[in-house]
Structure 1
Amino acid sequence: MARVALALPDALAQRLAHDASRHGHEVVADCIDGGELREAMELLRPSCALVLADPRYLDADVLASADAVGVRLVALAGTSSERGLAARLGVRETADTESDWAGLEPLLGGFGRSDTPAPAAHGTVIAVWGPGGAPGRTTVAISIAAELAALGHRVVLADVDTHGASVAPALGLLDEAPGFAAACRLAGTDSLTHDELDRIAQFYESPAGGFRVLTGIGRASRWPELSAEKVSAALERARSWADVVVVDTASSLEADEEISSDFFAPRRNAATFAALRSADHLVVVGSADPVGLSRLLRSHADMLEAAERTDAVVVMNRVRSSAMGLGAAAQVRQALARFGGIHDAVLVPYDQHAFDSAVLAGRTVTDAAPRSPARVVLRDLAASILPPPPRRVRSRRKK
């Protein structure tokens, strides 16, 4: 049985309240606007809320209150403007205002659902991080996801960047309703199941091997939706849904609680810290030029401390003699070893044409430039992190 709160016009509220009672649910609040709904969620703690996607009933404050107390919020929309508001706010759980209760039941967070909560986690989480200055974190994360998918793994790419999410535009995907924020919201109410992940994820199609994408927040101001607890929970559920979860993180490692007097306030960089600590493998991306090397060497130790580990794969991107002089690869390796104690770094050669072609087409480098020397290095990197899965051999019965 669900405990339902309503924030709807009178006629719609009466119809759905009657339907809810007929299906064995309890309507605990019938609110006249969003402010009253926020109070009801705080005091009564319903399991879910049905809200009209209209500014009178639904706004960012209502959504934040629902997230804070763990209420599953379903937006009802009957017009294009109402559907647009739900999309702008990132509400994935939406239904038409004419829907009957049978159509609403699957959206209420497990009540009447056939899907069970996700089983224990088994997949691998790979977090991709790099210092500020656009060293190519997102490009490397996308390439690792694409190459692992091409190897035969079931892959999901999650954009956890709270400062400048860019996976969706890089792959030509829509990001009006960010998938990872929806995953965090569902994880916060303990209702993130495999069916839900299938619903909120977008699919990147590729002849080499497609993969799923949980898109990032379209506006940086939405970072409070990605709290550390929700990010950790969402990644744990995702790793039981896929063989590999590749996470694109933000660069900032600032511990903002040190400059705040409110120790319980949400932290903008908490998502990055949570992703790094949830990872089984860390990939650190730096730009192979004097400035990029300096940034990586200064922040590498801080990243390991934030991730609470001692090792990571270092990838130096865009290796070229025009920025490092003759013998660019040797100079990069020497600088890493001398000043950072970093050995065996992966060096990605500079191939601007290949990456420009990929961005222009909204494709991965695997698809846009399969023969690129940069792509070959990234393919080998992915295979070294996670080898191809064993092939299934069909047994033949003797006649």
Structure 2
Amino acid sequence: MRVALAVGLDDEHRLTGSAAYHGHEVVAACSGGDELAVRLPQLPLDRVVVAATPEHLTPRLVDAADELGVRMLVVADDEAAHRHAVRVGVIDAVDGPASWTLLEEGSSRIASAGEGVLASADAEELPPNRSAGIVVAVWGPHGSPGRTSIAIALAAELAAAGRQVVLADADTHAASVAPSLGLLDESPGFAAACRLAGTGGLDEVQFHRLAQLHRGARHPFRVLTGIGRSSRWPELGEQRVAGVLAAARQFTEVLVVDVAASLEQDEELTSDVGIPRRNAAALEVLRNADRIVAVGAADPVGITRFLRAHAELLEIVDPARVTVVVNKLRAAAIGVNPGGQVRQTLARFGGVGEPVLVPWDPAAFDAALLAGRPLADAAPRSSARAAIRELAATLEPFRPAGKVRARRGRRLA
């Protein structure tokens, strides 16, 4: 096995001197993580051994390894090293000191885990008495229509209905679920799940370990937090996201995913197809989701943006899986009979039949944001909460909608 090292000097000398005996070749030994990150694209290697110290395990190295698909063995000598590994998004660090035995044991574990995941995916088998879960994507155009607020409130209502729910933040542009719920996002759970899915190591234990339990909610649900820095979007590759969705169907009843607004695929035309694409995560979630909640804002600008983006959405997904939600409904921005005007406009220009209308209730949403709690807990009598509760009820009986080939929608000029 060809290996690159980013470890302390003593470990470097010991590993380099004994590599041939264990059947390995050290192709590079770097004094720091950033140095190795620069050299990584040019190195012909199979694995990287890294010490879990700020000097060696750097965010730049983690990003480079993720982008190139290089597996890392992260070795932590003490509790401080384990904490540092978690801070940069590595949750599977092993206890030190570094040795070739650790590398061989790690390879065996990854191989066996990968075989198990592939076997279960091919056979589509689930444990006895457990049906496949569903994936609900929450999407909306640019302009802050309230995607994240609706996603959080929807997850809470599904949990209140007795479902086992995981809320995931797959937004590669502006992830905001964690701060909205008062959760730490130093070690993004969704990115870590993607990393494990890429190596075949995302089992049920790891999945529930990464999904934080939001205990502040009256009916708790789990959260896979999003990336705190938007520059980390390459960690959410298309195949990795698909692996997380497949795992979630086995490990939970409902996965609610908050995705970014952008649906552009132009990056494929201007770059190597092997390079990660920033919108790939959103597109992969939307293509694989059983139900899609499309959120628009109830004002002249928001409706216009929604109609144009909704037409693009229908080009890549089956319209039968889409439920339209119009948020922030108020007469002050629409005029007399705002509900009727919104329904008429959506039906005429977008072919939308029965949108779900969520009234404008800024005091309720502000109270939820201030407390870091779902809308159902912060303002249980809110009219907006009542509308979202009805939306959650439309997802019953939680059976995947039929997935026929997507029809191309009309595009507004």
Normalization by structure 1: what TM-score? 0.83
CA change 1:133–1:76 in 2 (3 A) is: same
How far the C-alpha of 1:283 sits from its partner, in A, is: 0.6
CA change 1:261–1:50 in 2 (3 A) is: closer
Counterpart of 2:68? 68
CA change 1:311–1:242 in 2 (3 A) is: closer
Alignment of 1:58-137 (within 5 A): 58-61=58-61, 63-65=63-65, 68-76=68-76, 78=78, 86-94=85-93, 97=96, 110=109, 117=116, 119-120=120-121, 122-137=132-147
Counterpart of 2:198? 188
Q: Which amino acid aligns with 2:327?
A: N
Q: Does 1:52 align with 2:52?
A: yes
Aligned-residue RMSD, C-alpha: 3.5
Q: Which moved more, 1:49-58 or 1:185-194?
A: 49-58
Say if 1:178 and 1:214, in contact at 8 Å, map to a contact too: yes
Say if 2:19 and 2:26, in contact at 8 Å, map to a contact too: no
In structure 2, stretches of 5+ residues that fail to align are 125-131, 400-413
SS of 1:284 mapped into structure 2: strand
Q: For 2:208 and 2:102, how far apart are their aligned partners in 1?
A: 18
- Cα displacement string for residues 114-172 of structure 1 (whole angstroms, at most 9, x for unaligned residues): 99945456210111100000000001111111111111111111100000000000011
In structure 1, stretches of 5+ residues that fail to align are 390-399
Q: For 1:181 and 1:164, how far apart are their aligned partners in 2?
A: 14
CA change 1:39–1:317 in 2 (3 A) is: closer
Alignment of 1:190-229 (within 5 A): 190-206=200-216, 208-229=218-239
CA change 1:294–1:112 in 2 (3 A) is: closer
SS of 1:307 mapped into structure 2: coil
Counterpart of 2:164? 154
Q: Which moved more, 1:316-325 or 1:250-259?
A: 250-259
Q: Which moved more, 1:166-175 or 1:330-339?
A: 330-339
Say if 1:149 and 1:155, in contact at 8 Å, map to a contact too: yes
How far the C-alpha of 1:86 sits from its partner, in A, is: 3.5
Counterpart of 2:29? 32
- Cα displacement string for residues 272-330 of structure 1 (whole angstroms, at most 9, x for unaligned residues): 11110110111100011111111111111101213355541000011111111121111
Counterpart of 2:188? 178
Q: Which amino acid aligns with 1:137?
A: R
Alignment of 1:248-287 (within 5 A): 248-257=258-267, 260-287=270-297
Counterpart of 1:43? 44
Q: For 1:368 and 1:224, how far apart are their aligned partners in 2?
A: 35
Counterpart of 2:307? 297
Q: Does 1:8 align with 2:7?
A: yes
Say if 1:285 and 1:315, in contact at 8 Å, map to a contact too: yes
Aligned residues: 384
Normalization by structure 2: what TM-score? 0.81
CA change 1:20–1:155 in 2 (3 A) is: farther
- Cα displacement string for residues 186-206 of structure 1 (whole angstroms, at most 9, x for unaligned residues): 111111111111222211125
Q: For 1:17 and 1:192, how far apart are their aligned partners in 2?
A: 31
